[in-house]
């Protein structure tokens, strides 16, 4: 767990204010908190727990249950490689290997300079375009190892 000392808890105030009278709003609060900080730092969750009067153990339960929440800082660029069946049979696996090699990290990790986070997904529903790689929300279809390198170099 990375704990940095320069986390500004006051950035959370607008989120808390917006949901202050709403019961059961933990998930939207966590989503918006993650938008503010890019991930869910521990001191933010401790603060949140006190403010919304939800035990930290319960917040941790929710955060670790949903894959959308992150407890560690993520890179500035999010790369998601599809591992679905259609992409796989068209060479998705070698695309993933290439991206891992290029970034020097395994899937699920973030580069030391926080420039890239690499994730895999089970299916993006764009099988006709496979193999698919999504970079910062933009879809790249018919991916090959060579094209992957070109796209990544351009970032």
Partner 1 sequence: MAKVSLTIDNQKVVVEEGTTIFQAAKGVGIEIPHLCHREDMLPTSACRLCVVEVDGARNLVASCSYPVSNNMVVRTNTERVIKARRLIIELLLSDHPFDCMTCEKSGACDLERYAYELGVPTTRFQGEKHAYPLDETNPFFVRDYNKCILCGRCVAACNEVQFVEAINFAHRGFNTKVATPYDRSLLDSTCLFCGQCVAACPVGALTEKSRRFQGREWEFRKVSTVCPYCGVGCNIELDIKDNRIVRVNAPANGVVNQGRLCVKGKFGLDFVHSPERLTTPLIRDGERGDGKFKEASWEEALDLVAKRLSELKNRSGADSLAILSSAKCTTEENYLMQKLARAVLGTNNIDHCARLCHASTVTALSAAFGSAAMTNSIAELRDADCIFIIGSNTSENHPIIALEIMEGVRHGKTKLIVADPRKVRMVDYAHLWLRQKPGTDVALINGMLHIIIAENLYDADFVQARTEGFEELREAIAEYPPSIVSQITGIPVDNLYQAARLYAQSPKACILFAMGITQHTTGTDNILALANLAMLTGHLGRESTGVSPLRGQNNVQGACDVGALPDLFPGYESVTDEVSQGKFEQAWGVSLPDTPGLTVVEMIHKAVAGQVKGMYIMGEDPVLSDPNNTLVVRALKNLDFLVVQDIFLNETAKFADVVLPGVSFAEKDGTFTNTERRIQRVNKSIKPIGDSKPDWQIISELASRLGYTMTYNHPAEIMEEIASLTPIYGGVHYDRLNQQGLQWPCRNRDDPGTKYLHKGRFTRGLGKFHATPYREPFELPDEDYPFILTTGRILYHWHGGTLSRHSPGLAEIRPEAEVEINPQDAEMLCCSDGDLVELASRRGEILVKVKVTDKSPQGVAFMTFHFKEAPVNRLTIDALDPVAKIPEFKVCSVKINPATSQE
Q: How far apart are CA 131 and CA 143, in angstroms?
A: 5
Residues near partner 1, by CB under 8 A = 1, 42, 45, 55-61, 64-65
As measured in angstroms, the least distance from the Cβ of 107 to partner 1 is: 17
Residue 60 or 139: which CB sits closer to partner 1?
Answer: 60
As measured in angstroms, the least distance from the Cβ of 63 to partner 1 is: 9
Residue 70 or 140: which CB sits closer to partner 1?
Answer: 70
As measured in angstroms, the least distance from the Cβ of 91 to partner 1 is: 29
Angle, alpha carbons 149-69-98 (nearest 5°):
15
Beta-strand relationship, 77-82 and 116-121: parallel
Residue 60 or 140: which CB sits closer to partner 1?
Answer: 60
Would you state the torsion angle of the CA atoms of residues 115, 113, 29, 138, taken in this order, to the nearest 10 degrees? Answer: 10
Beta sheet of 138-140, edge-to-edge order: 116-121, 77-82, 133-135, 138-140
Residue 44 or 95: which CB sits closer to partner 1?
Answer: 44
């Amino acid at each position: 767990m990375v704990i940095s000392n320069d986390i500004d808890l006051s950035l959370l105030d607008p989120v808390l204010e917006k949901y202050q009278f709403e019961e059961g709003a933990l998930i939207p609060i966590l989503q918006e908190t993650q938008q503010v900080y890019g991930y869910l730092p521990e001191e933010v969750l401790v603060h949140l727990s006190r403010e919304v009067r939800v035990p930290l153990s319960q917040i941790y339960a929710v955060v670790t249950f949903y894959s959308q929440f992150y407890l560690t800082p993520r890179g500035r660029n999010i790369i998601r490689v599809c591992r679905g069946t259609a992409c796989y049979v068209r060479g998705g696996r070698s695309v993933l290997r290439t991206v891992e090699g290029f970034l020097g990290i395994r899937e699920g990790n973030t580069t030391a300079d926080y420039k890239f986070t690499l994730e895999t997904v089970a299916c993006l529903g764009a099988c006709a375009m496979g193999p698919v790689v999504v970079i910062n929300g933009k879809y790249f279809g018919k991916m090959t190892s060579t094209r992957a390198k070109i796209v990544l170099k351009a970032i």
